[in-house]
């Protein structure tokens, strides 16, 4: 094993799942983060897409194993399979679409309590079309103790910052054996409910 492979194996892996309604910009955020590109009018994700990327902060370095899930309702029953064993979730809504904020709350309610949640209001480059007030979001995140960041995948505003904040704040502990069994049972029940 060469030295760089050995170093890579020492970096802790963090399973990160992206959740949110369709067309809120989840895939655009990931693409901007991973490749610094933005694709206008991209196709909807089918099922899920996977990407791994190393994120370094002043305090630590982690390897994100990122699952970008489809937001369409017909794929919603598959989501528990992707967020099972996740250490963190990035839940995205579109600031110009109030219904997507309601959807983000539903996604958050679905997550196990031990998953770190970062709520992201995307598309702030379309500020003049904003439907979700900053005050309403601030009240919600305060009540639920969530990390909140507004981004523009199109312009790249705060995209790197979101991932660095998750890397800084996510717990690197593995769930206990009992918790792991509970998570596996929850995922199995969810996948059987199709």
CATH of the domain at 65: 3.40.50.300
pTM of the model: 0.79
Rg (CA), the chain: 17
Per-residue pLDDT tens over the stretch 122-174: 999 999 999 999 999 999 999 999 999 999 999 999 999 999 999 999 987 55
pLDDT confidence tier of residue 194, bands split at 50, 70 and 90: very low
Domain, as residue range, for 137: 3-192
Q: Which helix H or strand E contains 119, and what residues bound it?
A: strand 116-122
Give the separation between CA 17 and CA 83, rounded to whole angstroms. 6
Q: At residue 186, does pLDDT exceed 80? A: no
Tell which phi-psi region holds residue 47, choosing left (phi > 0), alpha (psi between -120 and 50) or beta: left
Q: Tell me how many domains the chain contains.
A: 1
Classify residue 38 by burial, with Cβ atoms within 10 Å: 0-12, 13-18, 19+: middle
pLDDT tens-digit readout, 98-122: 999 999 999 999 999 999 999 999 9
């Amino acid at each position: 094993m060469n030295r760089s492979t050995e170093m890579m194996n020492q970096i802790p892996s963090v399973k990160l799942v992206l959740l949110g309604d369709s067309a809120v910009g989840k895939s655009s955020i990931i693409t901007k983060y991973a490749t610094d590109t933005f694709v206008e009018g991209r196709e909807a994700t089918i099922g899920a897409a996977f990407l791994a990327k190393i994120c370094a902060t002043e305090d630590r370095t982690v390897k994100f194993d990122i699952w970008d899930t489809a937001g369409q309702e017909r794929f919603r029953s598959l989501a528990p399979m992707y967020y099972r064993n996740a250490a963190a979730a990035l839940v995205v809504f579109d600031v110009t679409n109030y219904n997507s904020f309601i959807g983000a709350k539903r996604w958050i309610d679905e997550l196990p309590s031990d998953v770190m949640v970062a709520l992201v209001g995307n598309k702030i480059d379309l500020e003049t079309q904003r439907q979700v007030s900053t005050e309403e979001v601030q009240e919600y995140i305060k009540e639920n103790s969530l990390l909140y960041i507004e981004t523009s995948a199109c312009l790249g505003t705060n995209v790197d910052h979101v991932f660095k904040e998750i890397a800084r704040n996510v717990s690197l502990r593995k769930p206990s054996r009992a918790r792991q069994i509970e998570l596996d049972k929850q995922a199995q029940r969810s996948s059987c409910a199709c």
